[in-house]
Structure 1
Amino acid sequence: MTDIRPRRSALYMPGSNARALEKARTLPADVLILDLEDAVAPDAKAEARAQVCAALGQGGFGPREVAVRVNALDTPWGEDDLAAVAAAAPDAILVPKVSSPEALAAIGLRLRRLRAPERVRVWAMIETAQAILRADAIAGTAHDVDARLACFVLGLNDLARETRARQVPGRAPMLPWMMTALAAARANGIDILDGVCNDLSDTAALRAECLQARDGGFDGKTLIHPNQIATANEVFSPSAEEVSEARLIAEAFDKPENAKKGAIALGGRMVERLHAEMARRVLGLAEAIEARQAGPSS
């Protein structure tokens, strides 16, 4: 099975806040997104860039995956962001407002010229109407090694602004766009993270959005406050019952007598080999989460 990296919780941290960057090393988020874009005022962009790169150089993030959201290349800060962050070599560079495969090709070309380490991946913000309409073509750049694309990150606030869709409980106006982006990601073998929940005080709303995204097939959720981490980690983790059932299915298909069978009877129901593949992914995710929790916290 392909190595699974949990991305249940992805917390945005303002790059201009030195105390937040220090606190990030102790938080139980799977992913930290050190932000140079929306969370940073124009007059603080250069300082934030320097602080984020210094934090990456210092390290100490433990098992947490670290991404940096740069400013778009057509802004006054984008090129300098990309050059500095490429040298600092986070796990991923999150590119905002990606609306075409050509945009990712250009990023990949720049990273190659900047000699960014091969392990540095590119994540794409899907937050424009054009991105939804071209989601499959954008996700298809994952097949180009130079593009480095590994993950979609939804930006539903920007989509709402651009489309004039209302952000209502249940997110009905957003669901077609969410599932279009998800289908494109899955068709091209990349992960996808849900957008943020804007209400910091409504834990029920956060849980509802996490459950909706999990049931829809998302890998995790982007967050804007550390208090949201526990809910996302819980919801996007396989439950004990799911792990137990997955183990039964996987073990049943591992038996020699079932090696060539496409379907078997198990517990009074018919189970197909595709269910075994799904079960092994559940087990792999559960094992990866357990390993992360057992490892060093910082």
Structure 2
Amino acid sequence: MSEFTPLRSVLYMPSSNERALEKAKSLPCDALILDLEDAVAPDAKPAAREAAAAAAASGAYGRRTVTIRVNGLGTQWHDDDIVAASQAGPAAIVVPKVDSADDVARLVTAMEKAGAPDHTRLWAMVETPVAVLDALAIARASERVGAFVLGTNDLVKELYAEHVPGRAPILPSLHTALLAGRAAGIAVVDGVYNDVKDTDGFLAECEQGRQMGFDGKTLIHPGQVDGANRAFAPSEQAVEDARGLIAAWEDGRGAGVVTFNGRMVENLHVESARRTLAIDEAVRALGAG
């Protein structure tokens, strides 16, 4: 089975909060973003930087994908953040408002100068109109780029749009980022849902994101983890159907037309089925860790 890293639930955690960093060790999320940006007050940023770097280097988070979100290019904290995050060697460094291939080049150069190991990827946040319009160039700018993270709150603000159920005002932007990410072969993670008390709205947006093709969703509260995990994981029926389809395909080789459950099977269906099984296998491995 091909390697697959689950990113169903990607939880932001404020690195200035020691209790939050400790609690994250027991949460069933697939990935963590140890945040140095929005969730951290200016006077707390140096201490948060040290805490995030120590947490990422500790190996204490099991199979979870641990990343660090630094402050953006041009801020007074960015350079020190990049150095500390690179030396800690997380799975990825998440950077806000990456707007161009030139931004990627600058970031990758800084990461490598600071000693970032080969496994540390760059996750570019897509949250401005120019980033959406240049998404393919950003995704292809370096092999270090491992994912897009949608910053939907900033995108709504930049477009002078409104937050509405169904997200009609930003659907073209979401689709464009997805197209670019898939063309470049990187992961694409959906933006946050702001109302942590609106469970039905959150689950509906998770379902929309899964249907669109996102790998998972960024989260702002631990209470959202289970819902995202369920929404972005293959159902038992989907796994059973994938196994049956692959078996029918292998049994029918050389027989001309192959069918499964009354439908004609082609290579593209087999590829989709194998991806479903890869996701299921990876999710089960994560849960066993």
Please classify the TM superposition score into its range, dividing by the shorter chain length: over 0.9
| Pairs within 5 Å for 1:278-289 | 278-289=272-283
Partner deviation per Cα, 1:153-175 (whole Å, 9 max, x = no partner): 00010011111111101111111
What secondary structure is seen at the aligned counterpart in 1 of 2:24?
Answer: helix
Task: After TM superposition, give the deviation of residue 59 of structure 1 in Å.
Answer: 2.6
Partner deviation per Cα, 1:190-243 (whole Å, 9 max, x = no partner): 010000000010000000000000000000000000000000000101001100
Q: Which runs of 5+ in 2 are unaligned?
A: none
Partner deviation per Cα, 1:41-83 (whole Å, 9 max, x = no partner): 1111111101111222333100100010001131000000000
The one-letter amino acid paired with 1:133 is: L
2:239 aligns with 243
2:166 aligns with 170
CA contact 2:203–2:228 (8 Å) conserved in 1: yes
Q: Identity of counterpart residues, as a percentage?
A: 52
1:160 is aligned, of 156, 165, 172, to 156
Separation in structure 1 between the aligned mates of residue 280 and residue 155 of structure 2, nearest angstrom: 33
Separation in structure 2 between the aligned mates of residue 190 and residue 39 of structure 1, nearest angstrom: 26
The one-letter amino acid paired with 1:72 is: G
Task: After TM superposition, give the deviation of residue 260 of structure 1 in Å.
Answer: 8.2
What secondary structure is seen at the aligned counterpart in 2 of 1:258?
Answer: coil
Pairwise CA RMSD of aligned residues? 1.2
2:196 aligns with 200
| Pairs within 5 Å for 1:11-160 | 11-141=11-141, 144-145=142-143, 148-160=144-156
Partner deviation per Cα, 1:113-168 (whole Å, 9 max, x = no partner): 11211011110000001001111111122xx33xx001000001001111111110
Matched, 1:209 2:205: yes
Runs of 4+ in 1 over 4 A off after TM superposition: none
CA contact 2:248–2:259 (8 Å) conserved in 1: no
2:268 is aligned, of 271, 274, 280, to 274
With normalisation by structure 1, the TM-score equals 0.94
Matched, 1:291 2:266: no
CA contact 2:4–2:282 (8 Å) conserved in 1: yes
With normalisation by structure 2, the TM-score equals 0.97
What secondary structure is seen at the aligned counterpart in 1 of 2:116?
Answer: coil
Separation in structure 1 between the aligned mates of residue 231 and residue 56 of structure 2, nearest angstrom: 29
What secondary structure is seen at the aligned counterpart in 2 of 1:119?
Answer: coil
Separation in structure 2 between the aligned mates of residue 271 and residue 81 of structure 1, nearest angstrom: 50
Separation in structure 1 between the aligned mates of residue 133 and residue 182 of structure 2, nearest angstrom: 16
What secondary structure is seen at the aligned counterpart in 1 of 2:168?
Answer: coil
What secondary structure is seen at the aligned counterpart in 1 of 2:169?
Answer: coil
